[in-house]
Chain A
């Protein structure tokens, strides 16, 4: 029977009368699965509720679209990936075994078309060898163009689930915590560790990925301290909850281990609800700094591969037990149990008692163990030395082929078919060593368990319980108490001797290594269900020499995907070891990386979305810019207007207007973003002499000077004007981009290189608002704005400064020019910035004032040939820029020693030049300079453009650029080509300053 046939009349037919301490039968829950309306109970997972309704077929596999069912019971689940929720809250690839049921939950199966039951993609699977290991490499490396044809088909068939349709409506949060001891895993070992360390007074965080503490104690009937395991868990929980120094966190996965005691955790606060409570996040991402940690993460049962072992109805034995014990669900009616260890016998008693008919217990081991003999005596059909060779059935199991096998899984006799609808398989257990491995702990291989266990030698953190290979319940508890007490003692606390409760658990015992049973010819034995990797794929990888486990993983995709091979990795590498004829430890494991289980980007991002994710720096006049059509751009985190849009004008027309206003009348631009450093101290002038190429110690008070600083390797680093406010007090400006790094650089020099200099540097960029007014009418405008200030050329010449009220606001006025016109940079307390700005705009009307943005500013500076970081790209020297005259020969400064290095004085360096386009031609962005006007020709680049603009002043397109021996090339006719854009222009090489090279206008 499948759920699809059951329809809406299904009434939890597989729910048992008793058992199920994890559900509340008085609280039924209605939910949807595909087109069906089903019912479960409070406490169910989607998986347990689906099984209770007899739903076996829940999805289609990734590559072959084979029908798949629920395989496990926890986060290890490779198969049962569903879409949960709808619309903006739809989340694909959610494990049904982890998702808790809530009222009106909507679940849907994935990866099928047109329907789950009849899926065309399954034809891929029937076509067999179409998708062998390495399919993509082989197909597309030989002929990459094939990808263009294949892509859309592959993309529809592969891939799991659909992303949500809209922006996530929920909030996500970040949180930080510190503790003495972080315990990952709240099973018996984790609880014991918490009890021991908590009693000693350690600040403990205990995190468990499940909704309830208890781990394996909840999934099989065991006894601790004379009471049922789950009852002891409740007792321990209450004891711990009463301790103020212990924090218990359920639904919280320890996802990653990082340096210096940092752990990341993801708490699913509201995934068990249809939506979060008001003002609560859906998930919370934790960063925990812990002084000690204990990994009590348990062990994951592993399957044994056989033909068609992926059919719905083939499940892990521990999962079948767990569904019965915790949820009161029998996962089938008639079962074949298939195992290589004794846990199968304890399980058989519970399952029979609950009404399951056991057709046979197939034990791979020859002879009868004590437990096997007891089961046989109870009348169970025990086949020792046998294996399941194949599952029968298509959309669900209806039989198992069973044959005698040897220790290597080879069949040694004819198979017979046993009717059944459930094959429960146990191939032993693998400790969940993930966190230990992430912490760079080494692994040891234990032959008796055929499993990797943590090697305590040199490990930074302890592992305990099943995660440490201690499967026996009593040993789990003992180890847990021991590591908890040891952690507390190591922290200098005094752990009281623990009272370890007596425990009665399952004897799990040894599990001999057996990874697969020989399959009939042509049959598929799956190792990795989620990625459809079969034993044959591993053989193929070996034949093609992908023999390292890391190569095996990438070639076959074994162990990738949302489960990261929790049930498949060890089997995969064991099979590779067998092919290589080596021992398993010699083959090793792939690298374990965070996260332990997948989590959402939303959790990682937390609340840092939109503007909060990328904080924007705004100047005091920001609102004015926006209100007046400012089209904003991002400049080193600042929001700046590129230009002010005006109805009826194209952006270029508007930029032209702004440029011409500056050239013909006056413009104002917000230059608050320039870096500003306040430099004070008796040695301030001496210090500036050492960081700039030119001298500042001879600068008069009240005057400014343009300076360039180099890196130690002699390349141009940053530039700006520095004003001398007093003998021992300077105001330095830096470029917007480097304001932070120049500060850091100066601090480095003062703290590390010249600690004897008495200088303080204070970043004051945000403390000042600055507006530059420039243009022929700038002086007249300033005179109106600052009646108390003498603005005459004699009193306030180029590179002079004045202090006084401007627009009523106390201001520092620096006369300096970026545009080449008469210009004043007016600096006021940032709090008065808007008042100044508005004052300028109001007073500017009669002078023809226009506000201009960064585009016009850039055009003006290109016209004047001023360099920026586009030109000084980190490789450029003062000489390349034609600024040798600014380099003082009479003093030492940072970078001076490098100026004579051979590469910096070698002939043929690129030098700063201008390019002016022929009438009507437009210089492409990022053009290469070439001799031939041919976009397709193979030719040497003579140089490249760095900044280009349309110059309304000149009526031509112009550019700055760097050109080999550029200064000797003035007058040459060359071509600016962009093969990328398919654009070209004929240009003439000219000196970098296009306009008023003598500078008469700015001094006027």
Chain B
């Protein structure tokens, strides 16, 4: 059971959150993409062994979406940040 560091509420139990999905950004102009590119945006996801950036929603808390960088092997969470505020590596 993960302990997720909500950028607004601090570390809280996983049960308070809803998992979104991989932190993929919506293309600003979907119409400029080919069918192939759009389909890849919709359906194709990396399945990394290691560092993974994903979005969580603090459903039983502040109702905020945020990003989390989690290692899929060790589950170590190295960073969490509000939308658009990704920390510099």
Contact = CB atoms under 8 A, between A and B. Distances in A.
Interface of A: 258-262, 287, 289, 440, 712-713, 740, 744, 747-748, 751-753, 755, 892, 896-898, 900-902
A260 B1 CA distance: 7
A901 B65 contact: no
A289 to B, nearest CB: 7
Interface string B31-66: 101010011001100000000000101010001110
Given A259-B75, A897-B33, A744 B42 contact: no
Contacts, number: 56
Most buried by A among B26, B55, B64, B75: B26
Given A262-B1, A755-B84, A712 B57 contact: no
Contact of A260 (B2, B39, B83, B84): B2
Contact of A259 (B1, B20, B57, B63): B1
Contacts of A752: 26, 55, 65, 83
B39 A748 contact: no
Given A261-B3, A744-B18, A901 B59 contact: no
B25 to A, nearest CB: 8
A744 B57 contact: yes
A258 B1 contact: yes
A898 B75 contact: no
Contacts of A713: 42-43
B3 A748 contact: no
Contacts of A261: 3
B61 to A, nearest CB: 12
Ranked 8 nearest A-B pairs via Cβ: A897-B30, A260-B3, A259-B75, A752-B83, A751-B65, A262-B1, A753-B26, A258-B1
Contacts of B2: 259-260
A834 B71 CA distance: 52
B57 A748 contact: yes
A757 to B, nearest CB: 13
B35 A902 contact: yes
B63 A748 contact: no
A755 B1 contact: no
Interface string B57-89: 101000111000000001101000001100000
Contacts of B63: 747
B64 A748 contact: no
Most buried by B among A289, A752, A892: A752
Say whether chain A's binding surface is mostly helix, strand, loop, or mixed.
helix
16 contacts: A259-B1, A259-B2, A260-B75, A287-B1, A289-B3, A712-B42, A713-B43, A744-B18, A744-B59, A747-B57, A752-B65, A755-B83, A897-B31, A900-B35, A901-B35, A902-B35
B9 to A, nearest CB: 15
A901 B34 CA distance: 10
Nearest to B82: A751
A395 B57 CA distance: 63
Contacts of B55: 748, 752
Given A752-B26, A752-B83, A896-B30, 13 more contacts: A259-B2, A260-B3, A260-B75, A262-B3, A289-B3, A713-B42, A747-B57, A747-B64, A748-B57, A753-B26, A892-B30, A897-B33, A898-B38
Interface of B: 1-3, 18, 20, 26, 30-31, 33, 35, 38-39, 42-43, 55, 57, 59, 63-65, 74-75, 77, 83-84
Contacts of A289: 3
A260 to B, nearest CB: 4
A786 B62 CA distance: 40
Nearest to B38: A897
A902 B43 CA distance: 15
Nearest to A900: B35
Contacts of A287: 1
A897 B35 CA distance: 9
B24 to A, nearest CB: 10
A751 B56 CA distance: 12
A72 to B, nearest CB: 32
A770 to B, nearest CB: 23
Contacts of B74: 440
B73 to A, nearest CB: 9
A598 B19 CA distance: 31
Nearest to A753: B26
Contact of A751 (B1, B18, B64): B64
A901 B38 CA distance: 9
A747 B65 contact: yes
Contacts of A901: 35, 38-39
Contacts of A897: 30-31, 33, 38
B18 A898 contact: no
B17 to A, nearest CB: 11
Contacts of A748: 20, 55, 57, 65
A260 B13 CA distance: 10
A289 B65 CA distance: 25
A258 B13 CA distance: 12
A261 B64 CA distance: 25
Contacts of A258: 1
Contacts of B38: 897-898, 901
Contacts of B26: 712, 752-753
A751 B65 CA distance: 7
Contacts of A440: 74
Nearest to A763: B63
Nearest to A440: B74
Contacts of B75: 259-260
A744 B43 CA distance: 20
B30 to A, nearest CB: 4
Contacts of B64: 747, 751
Nearest to B30: A897
A129 B57 CA distance: 58
Nearest to A264: B1
B83 A751 contact: yes
Contacts of B35: 900-902
A737 to B, nearest CB: 16
A792 B63 CA distance: 42
B50 to A, nearest CB: 15
Contacts of A892: 30-31
A440 B43 CA distance: 32
B1 to A, nearest CB: 5
Nearest to A741: B18
Contacts of A747: 57, 63-65
Contacts of B31: 892, 897
A740 B18 CA distance: 11
Nearest to B39: A901
A892 B30 CA distance: 10
B58 to A, nearest CB: 10
A747 B58 CA distance: 11
A262 B13 CA distance: 10
B69 to A, nearest CB: 14
B46 to A, nearest CB: 18
A591 to B, nearest CB: 16
A219 to B, nearest CB: 35
Contacts of B65: 747-748, 751-752
A209 B83 CA distance: 46
B35 to A, nearest CB: 6
Nearest to A748: B65
A896 B59 CA distance: 28
A542 B33 CA distance: 58
Nearest to B64: A751
Contacts of B3: 259-262, 289
A621 to B, nearest CB: 27
Nearest to A260: B3
B5 to A, nearest CB: 10
A787 B24 CA distance: 55
A333 B65 CA distance: 71
A748 B38 CA distance: 20
B47 to A, nearest CB: 19
A287 B14 CA distance: 13
A712 B3 CA distance: 30
A287 B13 CA distance: 11
